[in-house]
Structure 1
Amino acid sequence: MGVGKSKLNREALAEYADLTYFNEGEIVELFKKFESLDQSIQSDPKGRISASNIKSLPELKLNPFADRICEVFSSADDKSMNFDDFLDMMNVLSENASFSLKAHYAFSIFDFNKNGYVDEEDIGKIVQCITNDQDGLKDRALTSNLIEKIMEEADLDRDNQLGRSEFEHVLSKSPDFLSSFKIRL
């Protein structure tokens, strides 16, 4: 099934299938999708595709966190992705990925300042992304009140930051998390 046409050999396909929630046919399709984002990679699984091309995927185009998603899943400073990075991203965002795997990566995406917590600064950035207020100027009082209410509800140990377990606890109460933190093939 297209293995000969793609530059992924049978051994690589089997390894990817063992390490992901995808079967070999789905991996071939994902590689085709990866290739379609930048024809200059010439069927090279180690070739890198720019973050702007990755963000052109219909599933990410309107996502307010697309830039952070690229940053978290990229193995390069410029947020570009090779096929391994792309496959990791698609694996985590697959319908079959576990809650704990998705929660782990959601935490990383929302930890903008990379301090190991989702704190008030991060929540402010989340609000900016969701409201498309990149400069944080729309309504500071409303944003401040929203941050306060979120921390009041989610910060169980009252240290003004959410650790991974507190963050996962919040996500477990969100009925939409699993259905919204995914990309369908």
Structure 2
Amino acid sequence: MGNKVVTFSEEQIDDYQDCTYFTRKEILRVHKRFRELSPSTVPKCMTGDEAHTIKVPLNLMETLPEFRQENPFRKRIFSVFSSDGTGNMTFEDFLELLSVLSEQAPRDIKVFYAFKIYDFDGDEHIGPADLQQALTLLTSNELNAEETSQACAKVVEESDIDGDGKLSFIEFEHVILRAPDFLTTFHIRI
């Protein structure tokens, strides 16, 4: 007794439970996975400000098995969820990422973050340039410029309800919710 290391304060755990879709046990499991990425950087005890100041670099984040395997959006996902946009992640960034990708996260939260991932230029629309970047990632740059342009034009033609040449969040949501495999592919088990 008395040898137990306290990873987070009770207040931190309560806050994390309020802000995520995780239980106390799952939060501690997420911390363990985060710490395993860089044990010399990430302390066992994070009762101070370590959870939002200590960062694990993107190159180590990409070693997670869920992202290492053929995930063309891995760099983009990490950049969207990292608080500074670099892909380097704090524990709190990592916790949010896994919470959103958990099976418990509601569909509307998943759609919101999927939109952010596809909105490469951050202008709150998915335009032709965003679609080209996504298609290039999805096809491993195997389409030529004409094929890419045609595919992007077809997406806009079929999805752009208001005719402005780009997809708003509502238009994106309308399309993505019709995709039967969206919820089964936009998740990770911890």
Q: Which residue of structure 2 aligns with residue 86 of structure 1?
A: 94
Does 2:59 correspond to 1:60? no
**CA apart distance, 1:6:** 5.0
Structure 2 match to 1:129 = 137
Matches within 5 A, 1:163-182: 163-182=168-187
Matches within 5 A, 1:106-117: 106-117=114-125
CA deviation vs aligned residue, 1:108-146 (integer Å, no higher than 9, x gap)? 11001111100111000000001112xxx7411211111
Alignment of 1:49 onto 2:56 = yes
Cα drift, residue 174 of structure 1: 0.4
**Residue 34 of structure 1 aligns to which amino acid in structure 2?**
F
Query: Could you list the per-position Cα deviations for residues 75-113 of structure 1 after superposition, in whole angstroms to 9, with x for gaps in the alignment?
Result: 124321111000010111010111110111111110011
Q: Cα gap change, 1:16/1:142 in structure 2, threshold over 3 Å: closer, same or farther? A: same
Among 148, 170, 173, the alignment partner of 1:143 is 148
Percentage identity across paired residues of the two chains = 36
Q: Residues 40 and 121 from structure 1, CA distance in 2 versus in 1: closer, same or farther, beyond 3 angstroms?
A: same
Counterpart CA distance in 2 for 1:16 and 1:108 is 23
1:28 aligns with 2:28: yes
Larger displacement relative to structure 2 (53-62 or 166-175): 53-62
Alignment partner, residue 74 of structure 1: 82
Match of 1:152 in 2: 157
Q: Give the length in aligned residue pairs.
A: 179
Q: What one-letter code is carried by the residue in structure 2 that aligns with 1:8?
A: F
Q: 1:128 to 1:148 in 2, by over 3 A?
A: same
TM-score (norm 1): 0.92
TM-score (norm. length: structure 2): 0.89
- Alignment partners' CA distance in 1, 2:159 and 2:85: 32
Change (3 A) 1:154 1:18: same
Stretches of structure 1 lacking an aligned partner (at least 5 in a row): none
SS of 1:8 mapped into structure 2: coil
The equivalent residue for 1:14 is 14
Distance in 1 (CA, whole Å) between partners of 2:94 and 2:185 is 19
Deviations 1:7-35 (A, max 9, x none): 21222112111211100000000000000
Aligned-partner Cα distance in 1 for 2:42–2:183: 35
Q: Partners of 1:21 and 1:138 in 2: how far apart?
A: 39
Please, which moves more after superposition, 55-64 or 162-171?
A: 55-64
C-alpha displacement at 1:178, in angstroms?
Answer: 0.6
